[in-house]
């Protein structure tokens, strides 16, 4: 049995490094810097971080399961990113609806958070999913 990789060695290294970096970034920011623990946020974040780091390890080590985990990690991050963005946009709408002209600073803060997470939780996973292409059997 041979292993057929969708990703070129170069793409594999780039995605491995990117996922390792993003996973580490979330560990530091969300679990070290922010001391507040709240399971509703921490649990999905921990799952995404684990998947990102697992995919990075697998891609670096050229494991057979690496691209499958990369796809799952990318989907998980992408869905989390969309959910978080939707929550923040609806929060902006709530603030605008209730507080009107007084909501500027809070709306800007929410908008800033959306802008900050978009590259990591939407753009990068979308790029990875697009690069991996449609799902297919990776072993022949």
Partner 1 sequence: MTLERLLRILAVYSVVLAVCALGLVWFLRVDRSRAPRGPYIVSLWRGGNRLARAVVAADPEHATLDGETRGATRLIEQLIDDAPILAKDPLIFAGSLVSARDGLSVSYRGKTAYATPTDIERLDAYEAHVQFGPLELIVGIDLERVIGSLARELAASPAELFRYGTFRRFAVHDSSGYPRELGPEQVNAKTVRAAVLAAAQYLRRVQHPDGSFRYEIDALTGADTPGYNYPRHSGATYFLARAGRVLIDSAITDSARRAGAFLRDHATLHCGEHVCIGEGQQVDLGSSALALLAYVELVEGGAPEFREPAAKLADFVRSLQRPDGEFKHVYSIAENHAVDVQFEYYTGEAALALGAAHRLSGDARDLDGASRALARLTHKNPLFVGARYFWAAEHWTCQTLDALWARAPDAKALKFCLDWQAENRTAQLTSPPQYDGAIGRGPFLVPRLTPLASRLEAAVATLHAARVAHTDAREVAALEDEIKRGMAFLLRYQFAPGPSYLFPDARTLQGGVPGSPIEMKVRIDYPQHAGCAMLRYLELLTG
Please give the span between the terminal C-alpha atoms of the chain, in angstroms, as a whole number. Answer: 6
Which 8-state DSSP code applies to residue 130?
Answer: H
> According to CB under 8 A, which residues from 16 to 75 bind partner 1?
36-38, 40
Closest CA to 113 of 80, 89, 97: 89
129 interacts with partner 1 by CB under 8 A: yes
> Helix crossing, 9-26 with 39-60: angle to 10°?
150
102 interacts with partner 1 by CB under 8 A: yes
> Residue 21 or residue 118: which is nearer to partner 1 going by CB?
118
Local structure of 3: helix, strand or coil = strand
Q: Considering only residues 14, 45, 47, 96, which one is a binding residue for partner 1 as defined by CB under 8 A?
A: 96
> Residue 66 or residue 92: which is nearer to partner 1 going by CB?
92
Q: Which residues of the chain form contacts with partner 1 (CB under 8 A)?
A: 36-38, 40, 82, 85-86, 89-90, 92-106, 126, 129-130, 132-135
């Amino acid at each position: 049995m041979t292993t057929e990789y969708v990703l070129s060695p170069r793409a594999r290294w780039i995605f491995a490094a990117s996922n390792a970096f993003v996973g580490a970034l979330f560990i530091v920011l969300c679990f070290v810097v922010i001391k507040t623990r709240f399971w509703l946020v921490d649990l999905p974040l921990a799952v995404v971080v684990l998947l990102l780091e697992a995919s990075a390890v697998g891609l670096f080590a050229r494991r057979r399961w690496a691209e499958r985990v990369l796809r799952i990690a990318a989907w998980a991050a992408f869905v989390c990113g969309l959910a978080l963005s939707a929550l923040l946009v609806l929060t902006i709408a709530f603030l605008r609806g209730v507080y009107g002209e007084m909501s500027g600073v809070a709306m800007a803060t929410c908008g800033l958070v959306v802008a900050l997470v978009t590259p990591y939780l939407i753009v990068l996973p979308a790029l990875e999913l697009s690069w991996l292409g449609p799902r297919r059997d990776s072993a022949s």
